[in-house]
Structure 1
Amino acid sequence: MTIVSDALASVDSFLPGLADKLSANSFIDNESEQSQIINWFKLSGGCKLMVKRSYGGRELTPWQGVLVQLGLGIYSPSLAIGAGMHQFSIATLQEMAKTSHGLESLLLEAIAKNDLLVSSAFSEGNTARSILQSQIVAKPSGKGFLITGTKKPCSLAHDMDLLTASVQVEPSDGEPYFAVALIHKENDGVNVESFWNASFLKASQSEAVHLDEVYVPHSMMVNVDEQSAYHAHISGFVWFELLTSASYLGMVYGLVEQADKHKRLSSEDKAAAYIKLDSSALALKAIAYDMNNQTQDTLAQVLACRYQLQEVLAQVMTQIIEKVGGINYIGNAYFSSIAQTIHAFNFHPPAKHSMLTPLASYYDNKPLIMV
């Protein structure tokens, strides 16, 4: 079985009925702002895929999770991005649950039981600011905190049930410290505003989520000590890069498949593209099979895979689009949309240019410092 066949079979197996719904609609309808793909993902059981069995979930292996993301990327770029955000949020919650005895376990059980969709407000990444320093602030108020800040873009903005947010707690006395807030979308002060003006990935619901003095009780705030916070960030980024890389890789697999269906590729063209894409998928597989204990080494490895993949996908996409030809590019919205979407891979944090110096230090056997 090829990697593409395995990915599509994984979607059929783990998300029953979803592929039929996606295939019954046009690409443009699935990718539109009014699309129902996120809701279909929920209805097909997607919310519990990566949740551990001890919490009532399916507990897919990391490689199975990668295959699902590849398959979703082939079917729908927007769904791959949205689903990847949920799975990354689940992975972060489960990482925190390893060292905490708080609400995370109960929350994970509720997510699996009720098919709750979780979005994330981590790593906002503003120019000249560290992606690890949250711009969302929590101030003590009564038996909880008032949280204020904005996450943009925030995928799943409309359909999310819960938002996990890294916050900087500013106590009335003492130094600020890092924590994670668990916020229900229906809380007063949670507002979604339009932000995504690009013509692609509209169905990922990547809008602006504003938190205006949202009250969060102590029970929904997870305090994380400095060492645990650092490890949670490392683990979170490993998962994020792995799932995001799989999503965009799936999109280019889909591009090759569509170009082949339009009879624009010779057998040599298709084989040459698949050699490059399969090599990248196997690199992700190596990372996925080494996910039991995420370390700086794991992060450096997955970043290397991701940055190399950016170049590979851009190269394959350009070669395939040339074979597709100008008439198909102009006349078929799928091809022009995919071409634009692939470029967005470069903008996910951390950007390559910001990590070259830290990685150079790492390759000189120094600690890897995130920026």
Structure 2
Amino acid sequence: MFLQEERTTAFELIPEMALCLETTSLLDFERGESQRLADMLRRVGQPALTIAKELGGAGASALSMAQLHTWVGAHCPSLAIMMTMHHHTVAGMMAARHFFPDIQGLLGLIARDNLLVASGFAEGRTNTHISESTMAVEKTLDGYLVNGSKKPCTMTHHFDVITFGVNYLDPQGQTQIGIGVGFAEDPSIERKKFWSVPYLQAADSHEVTFNNLLVPEAMMCFSTAIDDQLDDAQQGTGNHLFAIWFQLLASASYLGMASALAARALAGNKGSPDDRALLLIDQQGATMALRGLAASIDDNRFLRSDLARAQATRFSIQEAVNRISTRAFEILGGMAFMSSEDVAYLRVATGLLAFHPTSRLASTHFLCEQLG
């Protein structure tokens, strides 16, 4: 059966939510309120999947998470996007905890209270690295004052914790890229409507603004403090942890959306055998590429060259997703487009992977440097 291994993983990790997704139509979720998805994720979606068991989480592997996101993407794209932003951030913090010991307390809190974590990194800005930011930060006696905005920011109205990137000019005049943490109830955090297109609206991706948000020193970490301890190949490892996990989960989520279209085309037994075989070749090829990236993460490979491989894998899957969705759409034909709203919805949604960081244009020099 199509996506059978992914389905098995979903029912092992999130059985109640998996059953709900399987028995509810895709558009029922996508056209519904974002609060419904956030509540489901918090209540039965296991927000602590990527947190180690000793900190109260499930200790799920990268391979399991890739399979889970593929399956969820096929059944509820908006929820898959919510989960991508939450899980890549939490997994990144988990992987970076030996660099940032203070982050372990937050991870334990997330696991204990099933908190949802929003990602306030570089999504939505073209030609940027995921950890770069327009946030301004000023050092004070009490910590750091942060100002700026992030749009779109998934789970704008539903997150409990938000992580974000900042650019900080230190006393020596050096610009540092930092990662900070804020909490939803802080009055310095403002939310504004931003997302206006009808696709992925249930992911609640709007604008979050920080107005003199005070972040304690324990909740603000800078990459140069880590890089001073590392060799050239390891430079930026603290940031790479988040970026590599993001490429894995975003790619998996959108591959799931494309797989949903492919499954509809295959179930209808439409098109020629060659058409159907090409669908399966692209889907399986992308799946195996995804599993290879997941295996690398499970082996704790987060060097600069590993980030380049993760980006290359993502762009390869992105091309496969485009081919799968286009071919499946053509096989299904105009009548399916006119009679099945979810077919048209999935066709557009699959193309949005290209808008997530990092762009191919921004990555060209880095990929040639590391892989050429």
For the criterion TM > 0.5, the same-fold answer is yes
CA spacing shift, 1:187–1:312, aligned 2, 3 Å: same
Scaled by the length of structure 1, what TM-score is found? 0.90
Q: Answer yes or no: is the 8 Å Cα contact 1:140–1:172 preserved in 2.
A: no
What is the aligned-residue identity percentage?
25
1:290 has 2:289 as partner: no
Q: Which letter does structure 2 place at the counterpart of 1:65?
A: M
Q: Answer yes or no: is the 8 Å Cα contact 2:270–2:331 preserved in 1.
A: yes
CA spacing shift, 1:124–1:85, aligned 2, 3 Å: closer
Q: Answer yes or no: is the 8 Å Cα contact 2:124–2:152 preserved in 1.
A: no
CA spacing shift, 1:57–1:238, aligned 2, 3 Å: same
Q: Answer yes or no: is the 8 Å Cα contact 1:124–1:135 preserved in 2.
A: no
Structure 2, unpaired ranges of 5+: 228-234
- 1:57 aligns with 57
Higher mean Cα deviation, 355-364 or 276-285? 355-364
1:334 has 2:342 as partner: yes
Provide the aligned length of Structure 1 versus Structure 2. Answer: 362
Distance in 2, matches of 1:327 and 1:141, equals 62
Q: Which runs of 4+ in 1 moved over 6 A?
A: none
For residues 341-365 of structure 1, the C-alpha deviation after alignment (integer angstroms, 9 at most, x for no partner) is 111111111111222233223334x
Tell me how large the CA RMSD over aligned residues is: 2.2
CA spacing shift, 1:174–1:69, aligned 2, 3 Å: same
Structure 1, unpaired ranges of 5+: 365-371
Q: Answer yes or no: is the 8 Å Cα contact 2:223–2:236 preserved in 1.
A: no
Shift of 1:202: 0.9
For residues 53-109 of structure 1, the C-alpha deviation after alignment (integer angstroms, 9 at most, x for no partner) is 12110011110111101111111111111101111101221233112232x111101
- 2:262 aligns with 256
- Residue 343 of structure 2 aligns to a residue whose secondary structure is helix
Distance in 2, matches of 1:165 and 1:114, equals 21
1:85-100 equivalences under 5 Å are 85-100=85-100
- 1:84 aligns with 84
1:279 has 2:285 as partner: yes
Q: Answer yes or no: is the 8 Å Cα contact 1:22–1:37 preserved in 2.
A: no
Distance in 2, matches of 1:17 and 1:74, equals 17
Shift of 1:236: 1.6
Q: Answer yes or no: is the 8 Å Cα contact 1:284–1:302 preserved in 2.
A: no
Shift of 1:129: 5.9
- 1:368 aligns with none
Distance in 1, matches of 2:347 and 2:370, equals 33
- 1:214 aligns with 213
Distance in 2, matches of 1:88 and 1:48, equals 11
For residues 144-191 of structure 1, the C-alpha deviation after alignment (integer angstroms, 9 at most, x for no partner) is 222111111111212111001122235688655333211001101212
Q: Answer yes or no: is the 8 Å Cα contact 2:304–2:370 preserved in 1.
A: no
Distance in 2, matches of 1:100 and 1:144, equals 16
Distance in 2, matches of 1:47 and 1:130, equals 26
For residues 115-140 of structure 1, the C-alpha deviation after alignment (integer angstroms, 9 at most, x for no partner) is 01111112256456665432112223
Scaled by the length of structure 2, what TM-score is found? 0.90
1:214-253 equivalences under 5 Å are 214-225=213-224, 227-228=226-227, 230-253=236-259
- 2:230 aligns with none
Highest relative contact order (Cα 8 Å, sep 6+), 1 or 2?
A: 2
For residues 292-324 of structure 1, the C-alpha deviation after alignment (integer angstroms, 9 at most, x for no partner) is 121122222222221122222211211111111
Q: Answer yes or no: is the 8 Å Cα contact 1:125–1:131 preserved in 2.
A: no
Distance in 2, matches of 1:75 and 1:165, equals 29
Q: Answer yes or no: is the 8 Å Cα contact 2:49–2:58 preserved in 1.
A: yes
Q: Which letter does structure 2 place at the counterpart of 1:165?
A: F
Distance in 2, matches of 1:161 and 1:139, equals 24
1:91-110 equivalences under 5 Å are 91-102=91-102, 104-110=103-109
